[in-house]
Amino acid sequence: MNDIVKLGGILLLFSAIAGGALSVVNAITKPRIELQKKLVLERALTTALPMANKDAIVPVEQDNMLYYKGYKTPDKQDLVGYAFVASGKGYSSTIETMVGVDTTFTITGLSILQQVETPGLGTKIEEVRYGESTPWFQDQFVDKTWNGLAVDKDGGNITSITGATISSRAVTKSIHDGLKQLEATVRQHHSDM
Amino acid sequence: MEIKALLIIAVNAIFIYNFVLSRFLGICPYIGVSKNIDSAIGMGFAVVFVMTLASMATWLIDFYLLRPTESNIFYILFNFKEPPDLMYLKTIAFILVIASLVQFVEMVIQKMSPGLYKSLGIYLPLITTNCAILGVTLINLDANYSFIASIVHGFTAGLGFTLALVLMAGIRENLDMAPVPKPLKGAPIAFIMASLMSIAFLGFSGLKIG
Amino acid sequence: MEPKFYVSSSPHITDNESIPKIMYGVMLSLIPATAGAIYFFGIRAGWIILLSIVSAMATEGILQKLMKKSVTIKDGSAMVTGILLAFNLPAEVPWWIPVIGSVFAIGIGKIPFGGLGYNPMNPALLGRAFLLASWPTHLTIFKTIPRGGTISGIDVITNATPLNVFKIAKASILAEQVQDYDVAIRQLYDSYSNLFVGRVGGCLGETSALLLLIGALYLIYKRYISLKVPVSYILTVALLSWIFGGTEGFFSGDPLFHVLAGGLILGAFFMATDMVTSPVTAKGRIIFGIGCGVITVIIRLVGGYPEGVSYSILLMNLTVPLINRYTRPKVFGEVKRS
Amino acid sequence: MSISKELFKGFYKENPVFRLALGLCPTLAVSNSVQNAVGMGAAVTFVLICSNVIVSMIRHGVPKKIRIPIYIVVIATFVTIVDLVMAGFAPALHKSLGIFVPLIVVNCIILGRAEAFAGKNNVGRSFIDGLGMGIGFTLALMALAIVRELLGDGKLWGIPVLSSGYEPVLIFILPPGAFLTLGLFLGFFNWLDIKMQK
Amino acid sequence: MWFKSKSFKGGVHPPENKAFSDNKVIEKLPLPERVVIPLAQHIGAPAEPIVSVGDEVKTGQKIGQSKGFVSVPCHASISGIVKKIEPRPHPVGGDVLAIEIEGDGNDIMSQDFDFNPDYMVQSVDEMKENILEAGIAGMGGATFPTHVKLSPPPDKTIDTLILNGAECEPFLTSDARLMIEFPKEIIEGLRILMKILNCKRGYIAIEKNKPNAISLFHKLINDSKQSDINVVGLKVKYPQGAEKQLIKAIVNRNVPAGGLPMDVGCLVQNVGTAKAVYDAISKKLPLIERVVTVTGKGIKEPKNVLARIGTPFQQVIDFCGGLTDDAAKIINGGPMMGIAQFDLEVPVIKGTSGIVILNTKQAILPQPQPCISCARCVDSCPMGLMPNYLATLVENQKFEQAKEFNIKDCIECGSCSYVCPSKIRHVHLFKFGKMHVAKMMKPAA
Ligand SMILES: Cc1cc2nc3c(=O)[nH]c(=O)nc-3n(C[C@H](O)[C@H](O)[C@H](O)COP(=O)(O)O)c2cc1C
Ligand SMILES: Cc1cc2nc3c(=O)[nH]c(=O)nc-3n(C[C@H](O)[C@H](O)[C@H](O)COP(=O)(O)O)c2cc1C
Ligand SMILES: Cc1cc2nc3c(=O)[nH]c(=O)nc-3n(C[C@H](O)[C@H](O)[C@H](O)COP(=O)(O)O)c2cc1C
Ligand SMILES: Cc1cc2nc3c(=O)[nH]c(=O)nc-3n(C[C@H](O)[C@H](O)[C@H](O)CO)c2cc1C
Ligand code: SF4
Ligand code: SF4
Ligand code: SF4
Ligand code: SF4
Ligand code: FES
């Protein structure tokens, strides 16, 4: 019995030391990790809304839709566009895309937030070709509106990735649907005002 | 619908994201304990059992001890200003829980059912440091599964593991008697076989229920 | 004492079947379908088949030479693997596809396990599955229009194979191309004669049920295949696709369409029956066939691919040792063991 | 054993992956790109060295009966440190290694070395052992990753190196490719062994 | 089911090859100058010699005394002088103690062996004693002492006696000829056996490729109104004559694995055995000669001969015109279960139903190839075994598992090897495997 207490004590001691050490490391890294998380979102938003000031993008929730409003200057007076997250089911995951549009609902930029598609196939939605600096698949969307937005196989204007039509379609369709909804929501809101 | 969601978890865990063939978890026992069907079945059941229990236990630990929510016991007990975020202790907490769980299960089975102990007992110690067990608990956490979903996932992931293990054992019993080229005998041919098996399991990829 | 006569253990006679005889018999049975492939898809089909056979044999020969084992390419088994692999490829694949497929089929799927008789899975189908996972685009795009028909077998849709049309229509994405896909599906269901004769797109050897069945009859006549596997396989597919395959609830599917479309006939008679990789017991063969059928229908109806024949056979190959073990025939006069 | 021998044994003669067949799960899982392989290798090496050193330091003070749980606590601590630091400073790598970072805890190489080596040797040797084994593990991972990334993606370290006409053999970055590459590597080393013995 | 010929599950259809000799009337072989009589021509303990070198013996004189219950005596088959008592090559293998008699050419009988018309009034015990004294061992090939088979333990009753005239082995016609030429003797033999066992039902089982024999028996039995005896025509399929399969085919009973026919109330005896029993009971004639089919492509004039036990093969073959130039394999028995001989010195024994001589082309068996799991062997095994798997197990020395997969139930019929496209020598492996399994079991018992 005594033995168990003693052994338990030693184990507890070690665990306590470990816990202590970890809480110190945690305290040091925590801000950094949170910063990283923020940076990811921030980077996505600035890619989506290149013309907006990075400190002047604010989240809005309306009619069950979460989107962002982007302003040109930090005083948030001159609205330049909106951003939202489109999500659609791809081949093996749900693909989430941050999409930015200007006030005429023409796409200004986008970036993939989340996808676990097949490497080499579905992941080509993020492929940056050698010698280029931006992903070619996503670049196609810029300057387009939801109208007619579809992959070529469905008769649309987006060249799909060979062998990954499902992923291409998921991105395209989710943006198409999301954009349509955003426009409706925003216009409704405007007319309310 | 809840039932459908659970079914999807199950099908995913057994066939599409099979622990061994797609997620690469539990490779050591997959190669090590697959030389004979009977021990494969024994190991399989031991893993199913421990995975289910571990999923249950770690969910409770996570929900009541680690997560910064209102139901955090430290928060309730010690009247902290805000719920403490102890998520960084998850690895250490989970592994200790699993280790003690296996010990405990071993003791209980030994007392309650010597027959079961005889067939499962020898596999239990092997399981403590098996990454499939810790893996399933970490995946439960990542996927934010509910208590029930965690249990279902733990159970079915174990079944998926057992499936791959027992199929492998059947094949290796024959392979044992085949003129496999000498350099490939043993582990190499087992991995080549695993590769072919996982090619066949690609057939399940993209499966969508409902 | 120096024996004056040959001595050996009994029996002193054997029948005159042999491995080469069986393999060449299988090849003979594949001739109608080969001719059909060349007729429907053009001379290129012949080249693909030839290339595949040659690379399968070369792989086997070279590896056996390297390992200093006796070279067995003349027994015909590598040739059969080569033909069947080619039968599983579209006509317009680049030349290196059949070559790499054969190298994988024989070099990974067969020789490392000890060669003929020891491979746990169907080498030709492994070759196909390897190619499908490695270059999905080359294996899933069908452009060659079969002589006298269309790729889908019907006129309203021209660029997808029957099972693809079926799959896509179910996911309702073809809407922008076809006014009413119910009509398309109905037409598809009525295109039996095209499916039966082979005037549809698809892999080289799979399209003509008629020519395949002629070959299969020969194999059945020679008793090289047991009917248990193909019959239980096809009946299972028919039954399940009838129950679950329809768009208007249970029992509205079209079993005949599902039996004739895709690679089922080829798979059921020529690939699921590969003796090396199917069970040896009578009960086991039926279980094997049913298993293949169930998986095929699951993949066709809810899976990620239009067709599930090859994966279903590969998956069931994995279960063969277990099936054999648990379906041992009853020993004569066996008394229940206590 | 000389220090250099102690260091180099992990590279080939006692390579944890190819010779001892340890740590196979992470090997298979993260060898789909060289970047992942190096990141994982570094993480494991760090944990190996630290845990070896600590275990060696405390080896006389730990009661036999509970040494394994204590080793696990030590290892888990360093694993968590790696996990947190990686999340803070290399978030992309952290994401692509996924749960295999926390799973270093159960990597048998680490517990194996603690038990087989550090628990019986002094701090200096244990440090060298950890370093050697860690590098050996990293080398094995990289060997697999080079083959897989090159064949399966036509790239190395994310940079396309094969001509644009090359159509990658996708399967090599999918699970079957991992098993196949490892199987062939193991077979190759067995073959070498048989050759050398002759 | 009426439309199905009576048969069993499994089996094979080798070419019958009976045309060589099935029309040849049994010819008496000229008296041999010299006979070699092995003391073990039966299963069980060998007989002990009761004569010495130099002794004079007469035809029919007992020269070897049975030793123990499962054993039978043996008799001089010619008159003459005992030359040697030493181990000699035996057609079933190895060298076995044998008595060589140099004949005097006179064939002097040791006693009269007169026909006793009242033979049926003997008591059962007397009959059994006479059968033992006549040295009868089963003539269907297994040579199990007949008196032992006729003495079942008291707790077993035998209600069905089956005379085995199947002769399913290719080439052989000795039983067929015997049935055509001595049908009455065979029926009487059957009656004697039925009396000994007090059994109600007798069958004579004949494959349908011997229609003459079937109709002959039908006629005889109908004419004499012996309603307790049936003649049954069997489907032509090897191994129809194996006793468990025969019992299954005729009375649809399953002899339990590891059990004996008497466990299901049956007894099976060869038709030749019945004839020998008749001779022993009605004339007290010991078993000193038997019908031997000499056949195959390697013999010039195939024949059925009545040969004295102990006649060297060489002499039998000379009588049949000698070997052809390409004769290459000499088999004691049929080609499915018989045993290949090294030379022609070996003697005809009680179980020699035939001497089959194959030519070079037939004699060289192809090299075994790996099993391709074609399952032909599984489908053909009359015992419901998995020969392919068993062969692999034995090859890999996994005797424990071979035992678990019932290797002991194999009757070595050879069907599996016959149909195997990979030419695997199953029976050879199984003989070896069974030996090991038996060894394994010993310490436990
Ligand atoms: C192993 C494997 C993984 C695949 N992964 C994806 C994927 O991630 N995204 C995708 O769109 N298609 C994927 N596919 C391909 C689809 O099954 C399908 O063939 C393709 O989306 C059709 O596109 P296509 O019309 O361009 O041929 C995968 C196929 C295989 C064999
Ligand atoms: C025996 C055999 C098995 C096949 N198995 C598959 C399979 O598992 N998956 C697949 O996508 N295609 C498979 N194919 C190819 C398909 O049958 C077919 O060519 C393609 O999927 C398009 O099908 P469809 O012609 O019926 O539309 C197989 C072909 C054959 C001959
Ligand atoms: C494969 C096999 C085939 C047999 N075929 C015959 C046969 O055709 N005729 C026969 O009399 N005995 C045959 N026997 C022997 C019988 O099983 C049985 O031992 C015999 O009929 C008993 O009679 P006996 O003791 O009078 O010889 C065969 C045995 C085996 C194992
Ligand atoms: C009826 C029959 C079907 C066969 N089917 C296949 C097949 O589907 N794939 C294959 O590679 N070989 C097949 N073969 C050939 C042979 O069995 C094959 O090369 C072995 O699987 C290789 O060990 C078949 C042979 C026969 C007799
Ligand atoms: S401990 Fe883990 S990593 Fe090591 S061999 Fe076992 S399962 Fe693999
Ligand atoms: S098995 Fe042999 S002994 Fe029996 S009948 Fe057939 S040939 Fe004769
Ligand atoms: S020899 Fe044995 S295993 Fe072969 S068929 Fe006859 S009984 Fe079956
Ligand atoms: S008959 Fe020969 S090749 Fe066929 S399964 Fe039996 S042993 Fe194998
Ligand atoms: S089970 Fe061993 S590392 Fe995964």
pLDDT band at E6 (very low <50, low <70, confident <90, very high): low
Q: What is d(CA A13, CA A157) in angstroms, rounded to the nearest whole number?
A: 65
Contacts of B179 in chain E (CB under 8 A): 370
Amino acid at D10: G
Q: Does E396 touch chain C (CB under 8 A)?
A: no
- The answer to whether residues C247 and C125 belong to one domain is no
Contacts of C137 in chain A (CB under 8 A): 162-163
Q: Which residue from B88, B96, B205 is facing A26, i.e. has the nearest CB?
A: B88
pLDDT of residue D159: 85
pLDDT of residue C184: 73
Name the β-bridge partners of E304.
Answer: E293
- Whose CA is closest to E250, among E129, E160, E385? E160
- Whose CA is closest to E79, among E97, E63, E98, E96? E63
pLDDT of residue B29: 85
Q: Which residue from E244, E378, E384 is facing C330, i.e. has the nearest CB?
A: E384
pLDDT band at E108 (very low <50, low <70, confident <90, very high): very high
* Helix, strand, coil share of chain D (percent; to 5): 75, 0, 25
Our answer on whether the CB atom of E91 is closer than 6 Å to any ligand 8 atom is no
Is E127 in a helix, a strand, or coil? Answer: helix
Helix (H) or strand (E) holding E395: helix E387-395
* Residues whose CB falls within 8 Å of the CB of residue E434, separated by 6 or more in sequence, listed in order: E407, E408, E410
Biggest distance spanned by C-alpha atoms of chain B: 69
Contacts of B176 in chain E (CB under 8 A): 396
Cβ of D65 within 8 Å of Cβ of A120? The answer is no
Contacts of B26 in chain D (CB under 8 A): 25
Q: Does B115 touch chain C (CB under 8 A)?
A: no
Cβ atoms within 10 Å, residue D117: 19
pLDDT of residue B121: 64
Q: What is d(CA E148, CA A166) in angstroms, rounded to the nearest whole number?
A: 81
Question: Tokens 């490729």 belong to which residue?
Answer: E209
Contacts of E340 in chain C (CB under 8 A): 5-10, 12
Among E270, E413, E434, residue to substitute to test ligand 3 (most atoms within 8 Å of Cβ): E270
Nearest ligand to the C-alpha of residue C304? 1
Host domain of residue D42: 3-197
What's the C58 CA to ligand 4 centre distance in angstroms?
A: 17
Q: Give the position, in ligand 4's atom list, of the atom nearest the Cα of C313.
A: 8
pLDDT at E445 over 90: no
Cβ atoms within 10 Å, residue B137: 30
Residue among A93, A151, A157, A162 with most chain C CBs within 10 A, to mutate: A162
* Residues whose CB falls within 8 Å of the CB of residue E372, separated by 6 or more in sequence, listed in order: C19, C22, C116, C117, C275, C276, E421, E422
- The answer to whether residues C312 and C169 belong to one domain is yes
Our count of domains for chain D comes to: 1
Strand pairing report for E201-207 and E80-89? unpaired
Range of lowest pLDDT (C18-32, C179-193, D95-109, E73-87):
C179-193
Class of domain E119-283: alpha beta
**Is the CB of residue C80 less than 8 Å from the CB of residue C197?**
no
pLDDT of residue B79: 82
Cβ of D174 within 8 Å of Cβ of C133? The answer is yes
**Is the CB of residue E64 less than 8 Å from the CB of residue E41?**
no
pLDDT of residue D68: 84
Nearest ligand to the C-alpha of residue D174? 1
Amino acid at E311: T
Q: Which residue from C132, C312, C319 is facing B167, i.e. has the nearest CB?
A: C319
Chains that touch C (3 or more CB pairs under 8 A): A, B, D, E
Our count of domains for chain B comes to: 1
Per residue in E271-286, pLDDT (tens digit) is: 999 999 999 999 999 9
pLDDT at E7 over 80: no
Distances (CA, A) of E280 to E127, E136, E178, E188: 9, 9, 17, 12
- The answer to whether residue C336 sits within a structural domain is no
Q: What is d(CA C289, CA E370) in angstroms, rounded to the nearest whole number?
A: 25
Q: Which of C140-154, D36-50, E108-122 has the highest mean pLDDT?
A: D36-50
Q: Does C328 touch chain B (CB under 8 A)?
A: no
Per residue in C152-171, pLDDT (tens digit) is: 877 777 777 888 877 766 55
What's the C261 CA to ligand 2 centre distance in angstroms?
A: 9
Among A153, A166, A168, A172, residue to substitute to test ligand 1 (most atoms within 8 Å of Cβ): A166
pLDDT at C234 over 70: yes
What's the E418 CA to ligand 8 centre distance in angstroms?
A: 10
Residue among B66, B89, B198 with most chain A CBs within 10 A, to mutate: B89
Question: What does the CA dihedral C241, C242, C244, C245 come to, rounded to 10 degrees?
Answer: 60
Q: Give the position, in ligand 3's atom list, of the atom nearest the Cα of E270.
A: 26
CA distance E370 to chain B (A): 10
- Whose CA is closest to B206, among A93, D28, A127? A93
**Is the CB of residue C206 less than 8 Å from the CB of residue C87?**
yes
* Residues whose CB falls within 8 Å of the CB of residue C144, separated by 6 or more in sequence, listed in order: C41, C42, C44, C90, C91, C92, C151, C201
Nearest CA in chain D to A129: D160
Nearest CA in chain D to C96: D167
pLDDT band at A155 (very low <50, low <70, confident <90, very high): confident
Per the model's pLDDT, the better-predicted residue between C111 and A55 turns out to be C111
Per the model's pLDDT, the better-predicted residue between E360 and D158 turns out to be E360
**Range list for CATH 3.40.50.11540 in chain E:** 119-283
- The structure tokens listed for A27 are 């305290």
Going by alpha carbons, the residue nearest to atom 3 of ligand 8 is E371
Distances (CA, A) of B115 to B43, B110, B118, E315: 15, 8, 5, 69
Q: Give the position, in ligand 2's atom list, of the atom nearest the Cα of C309.
A: 5
Our answer on whether the CB atom of E414 is closer than 6 Å to any ligand 7 atom is yes
Going by alpha carbons, the residue nearest to atom 7 of ligand 5 is B28
Cβ of B89 within 8 Å of Cβ of A15? The answer is no
Q: Does C173 touch chain A (CB under 8 A)?
A: yes
Question: Tokens 């079209």 belong to which residue?
Answer: C254
Among D75, D100, D107, D133, residue to substitute to test ligand 5 (most atoms within 8 Å of Cβ): D107
Our answer on whether the CB atom of B25 is closer than 6 Å to any ligand 9 atom is yes
pLDDT band at C175 (very low <50, low <70, confident <90, very high): very low
Which pairs from D190-193 meet CB under 8 Å and 24+ separation?
D190/B182, D190/B183, D190/B184, D190/B185, D190/B186, D190/B188, D191/B183, D193/B183
Contacts of D63 in chain A (CB under 8 A): 6-7, 10
Give, to the nearest 10 degrees, the angle between helix B131-142 and helix B147-175: 150
Cβ atoms within 10 Å, residue E146: 29
Contacts of B88 in chain A (CB under 8 A): 22-23, 25-26
pLDDT of residue E444: 54
- Burial (0-12, 13-18, 19+ Cβ within 10 Å), D110: buried
Show the 3-state SS of chain C. Answer: CCCCCCCCCCCCCCCCCCHHHHHHHHHHHHHHHHHHHHHHHCHHHHHHHHHHHHHHHHHHHHHHHHCCCCCCHHHCHHHHHHHHHHHCCCCCCCCHHHHHHHHHHHHCCCHHHCCCCCCCCCHHHHHHHHHHHHCHHHHHCCCCCCCCCCCCCCCCCCCCCHHHHHHHHHCCCHHHCCCCHHHHHHHHHCCHHHHHHCCCCCCCCCCCHHHHHHHHHHHHHCCCCCCHHHHHHHHHHHHHHHHHCCCCCCCCCCHHHHHHCCCHHHHHHHHCCCHHHCCCCHHHHHHHHHHHHHHHHHHHHHCCCCCCHHHHHHHHHHHHHHHHHHCCCCCCCCCCCC
Chains that touch E (3 or more CB pairs under 8 A): B, C
Our answer on whether the CB atom of C22 is closer than 6 Å to any ligand 4 atom is yes
Range of lowest pLDDT (D94-108, E327-341, E406-420):
D94-108
Amino acid at C106: I
Helix (H) or strand (E) holding A37: helix A2-48
pTM for the complete prediction? 0.89
Cβ of E257 within 8 Å of Cβ of C333? The answer is yes
Cβ atoms within 10 Å, residue C294: 18
Q: What is d(CA E334, CA E238) in angstroms, rounded to the nearest whole number?
A: 12
Per the model's pLDDT, the better-predicted residue between C157 and B43 turns out to be B43
Q: What is d(CA A135, CA A125) in angstroms, rounded to the nearest whole number?
A: 7
Q: Give the position, in ligand 5's atom list, of the atom nearest the Cα of D111.
A: 1
Per residue in D81-96, pLDDT (tens digit) is: 999 999 999 988 998 8
What number is the average pLDDT over the span D33-40?
A: 94
Residues in the ligand 1 pocket, defined by CB under 6 Å: A 91-92, 117-118, 121-122, 162-167; B 202, 205-206; C 132-133, 136-137, 140-141, 304-305; D 174
CA distance D166 to chain B (A): 23
Per residue in E143-185, pLDDT (tens digit) is: 999 999 999 998 989 999 999 999 999 999 999 999 999 999 9
Our count of domains for chain C comes to: 2
Per residue in C283-324, pLDDT (tens digit) is: 999 999 999 999 999 999 988 888 999 999 999 999 999 999
Host domain of residue B63: 3-207
Our answer on whether the CB atom of E369 is closer than 6 Å to any ligand 8 atom is no
pLDDT of residue D96: 86
Is E107 in a helix, a strand, or coil? Answer: coil
Among E12, E419, E420, E427, residue to substitute to test ligand 8 (most atoms within 8 Å of Cβ): E420
Contacts of E396 in chain B (CB under 8 A): 176-177
Host domain of residue C40: 19-140
Contacts of C130 in chain B (CB under 8 A): 199
pLDDT of residue C174: 45
Alpha carbon of residue D107 to chain centroid: 9
pLDDT of residue C176: 44
Residue among B61, B88, B94, B142 with most chain A CBs within 10 A, to mutate: B88
- The answer to whether residues C233 and C286 belong to one domain is yes
